[in-house]
């Protein structure tokens, strides 16, 4: 057995302890680029313009929301949408100052809203005016941190157990811990950040961006707000490499949906000084986020098909689960409406839908499966991609496997 080559890509004292083994990563850059190109072709040929427009607008909201939820924000998606609308209407709106001028105390909810306001505003500005690899510098990273955290330290007076940000400044202490992990000594941060930037500029690859993300978080260059900075940098740098050009998806949203695994692999990488764990997870996030775009298109077309085939609200309720799932057993379809609908009503409507050829029925042993009677190109695309990805990943969410 040939032992994969392990590399130590950095030289500064702290970073030099981190290793990466490219040969054991699930994907190489060529494979990721190939599927990104396939997604572009799919978008050009099959993606409905209305669905594409919806994906682009929702992605900015969801990516910003996901980054805020990584910071344990209590905001609901509806509340985030309301704040996001403020960003769209007036990016200079200062609701915190207005509340203070009216003599009111600030609350945790105010903090969460301002945190999200900063994230959404910064994310929107960067998508509209992205930086390049050549622009990347320690000062740019400091400015990014400042934009993401401005005004938040005022909440130190109002919230308990508050970790100050020192917005736009490097960490100046060694009090920070991530679980049991001890980040770099604060005096090493500036030199190490510069080395990371120099290394990335000579290694402009998708895998290198994931390494950069992991190593920068390992340094923990800021007192607070490190995840925000790392995720923002990752998103823009990947797009600068030509990935996700239409901004149809976000790895941050995948990280949010897989939050326990996100933290697990991030801590594995930090505690073991082994970049492989989180870099592999970042590659997984990119590949499965691409499939999620196709899945969203598929669900929209299934929904359109269902609406075009029947105006009966009861039938639509019964068949609605088949928008997200390719097929379902009788018992699982009924489970969705159990206690809301009589079994005979359910059976009658299901039979009528089959007679009208809205759905197809498949008997397999003692089980009966139903699916919408309209194949879409998205189904073949998802099936083909998963055939390849299953060979590479140990984990794929059920929502993709059963689409």
Residue 19 main-chain phi, psi, to 5 deg: -120, 155
Q: What is the pTM of this model?
A: 0.92
Residue 257 falls within a domain, yes or no? yes
CA dist list (Å): 195 to 144, 153, 199, 304: 18, 29, 6, 52
Residues 102 and 121: their CA atoms lie apart, in Å, by 25
- For residue 342, give the DSSP letter: -
Write 331-340 long-range contacts (CB < 8 A, 24+): 333/370
Residue 114 included in any domain:
yes
User: What mean pLDDT is reported for the chain?
Assistant: 93
Closest CA to 205 of 171, 161, 240, 257: 240
Which CATH number belongs to the domain containing residue 191 in this structure? Answer: 1.10.3290.10
- For residue range 43-85, list pLDDT tens digits in order: 989 888 888 888 888 888 888 888 888 877 888 988 888 888 8
Q: What is the pLDDT of residues 205-221, one digit of tens each?
A: 999 999 999 999 999 99
Ramachandran assignment for 362, one of left (phi > 0), alpha (psi -120 to 50 degrees), beta (any other): beta
- Tens of pLDDT, residue by residue over 246-265, are 999 999 999 999 999 999 99
The length of the chain in residues reads 403
CA distances from 115 to 111, 151, 295 (A): 6, 9, 31
Evaluate whether 121 touches 91 at the Cβ level (below 8 Å): yes
Could you report the per-residue pLDDT of 77-86, keeping only the tens digit for each?
Answer: 888 888 888 8
Q: Could you give the CA distance from residue 335 to residue 313 in angstroms, rounded to a whole number?
A: 18
Residue 116 structural domain: 64-272
Nearest to 67 by CA among 184, 259, 218, 228: 228
Of the candidates 195, 272, 248, the one whose C-alpha atom is nearest the C-alpha of residue 18 is 272
Specify the number of domains making up the chain.
1
pLDDT at residue 320 tops 80: yes
Structure tokens that stand for 359 in this block: 């759905």
Mean pLDDT of 24-34: 97
Backbone angles phi, psi at 367, to 5 degrees: -100, 150
Q: Which residues are annotated as a binding site?
A: 262-263
Binding site members for ATP: 262-263
Structure tokens given for 153: 């330290």
Strand 359-364's sheet: what is its strand order? 328-329, 367-372, 359-364
CA distance 304 to 307: 5
| 84, 61 contact by CB (below 8 A) | yes
pLDDT band at 3 (very low <50, low <70, confident <90, very high): low
Is 19 part of any domain?
A: no
Which of the residues 220, 235, 256, 277 is marked catalytic? 220
User: Is the residue at 192 inside a domain?
Assistant: yes
Whether residue 39 is contained in a domain is answered as: no
Instruction: Look at residues 136, 129, 146, 128 and name the one whose alpha carbon lies nearest to residue 237.
Output: 136
Residue 239 lies in a domain: yes
Give tens-digit pLDDT for 166-214.
Answer: 999 999 999 999 988 999 999 999 999 999 999 999 999 999 999 999 9
Query: Does 287 map to a domain?
Result: no
pLDDT for 221 equals 98
Q: What is the pLDDT of residues 110-146, one digit of tens each?
A: 999 999 999 999 999 999 999 999 999 999 999 999 9
Q: Give pLDDT, residue 2.
A: 56
Residue ranges of alpha helices (H) inside 246-312 are 251-257, 259-271, 276-309
Q: Is 394 a catalytic residue?
A: no
Four-residue CA torsion sign, 226, 229, 234, 237? negative
Residue 373 lies in a domain: no
């Amino acid at each position: 057995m040939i032992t994969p080559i392990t590399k130590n890509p950095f030289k500064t004292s702290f970073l030099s302890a981190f290793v990466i083994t490219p040969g054991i990563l699930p994907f190489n850059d060529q494979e990721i680029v190939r599927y990104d190109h396939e997604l572009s072709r799919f978008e050009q040929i099959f993606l409905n313009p209305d669905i594409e427009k919806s994906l682009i607008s929702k992605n900015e909201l969801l990516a910003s929301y996901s980054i805020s939820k990584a910071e344990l924000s209590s905001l609901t998606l509806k509340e985030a949408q309301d704040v996001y609308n403020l960003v769209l209407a007036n990016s200079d709106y200062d609701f915190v100052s207005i509340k203070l001028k009216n003599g009111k105390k600030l609350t945790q909810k105010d903090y969460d809203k301002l945190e999200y306001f900063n994230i959404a505003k910064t994310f929107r500005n960067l998508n509209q005016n992205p930086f390049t690899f050549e622009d990347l510098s320690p000062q740019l990273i400091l400015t990014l941190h400042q934009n993401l955290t401005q005004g938040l330290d005022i909440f130190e007076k109002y919230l308990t157990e508050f970790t100050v940000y020192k917005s736009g400044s490097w960490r100046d202490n060694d009090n920070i811990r991530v679980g049991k992990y001890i980040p770099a000594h604060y005096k090493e941060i500036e030199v190490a950040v510069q080395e990371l930037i120099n290394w990335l500029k000579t290694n402009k690859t998708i895998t290198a961006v994931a390494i950069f993300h992991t190593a920068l978080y390992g340094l923990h260059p800021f007192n607070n707000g490190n995840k925000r900075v790392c995720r923002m940098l990752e998103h823009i740098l990947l797009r600068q490499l030509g990935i996700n050009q239409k901004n149809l998806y976000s790895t941050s949203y995948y990280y949010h949906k897989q939050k326990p695994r996100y933290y697990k692999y991030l801590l594995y990488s930090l505690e073991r000084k082994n970049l492989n764990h989180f870099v592999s997870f970042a590659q997984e996030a990119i590949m499965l986020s691409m499939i999620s775009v196709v899945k969203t298109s598929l669900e929209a077309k299934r929904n359109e098909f269902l609406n075009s085939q029947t105006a009966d609200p009861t039938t639509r309720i019964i068949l609605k689960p088949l928008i997200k799932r390719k097929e379902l057993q009788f018992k699982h379809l009924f489970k969705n409406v159990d206690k809301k609908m009589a079994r005979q009503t359910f059976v009658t409507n299901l039979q009528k839908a089959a007679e009208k050829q809205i759905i197809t029925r498949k008997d397999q042993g003692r089980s009966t499966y139903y699916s919408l009677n309209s194949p879409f190109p998205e189904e073949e695309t998802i099936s083909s991609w998963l055939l390849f990805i299953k060979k590479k990943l140990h984990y794929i969410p059920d929502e993709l496997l059963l689409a």
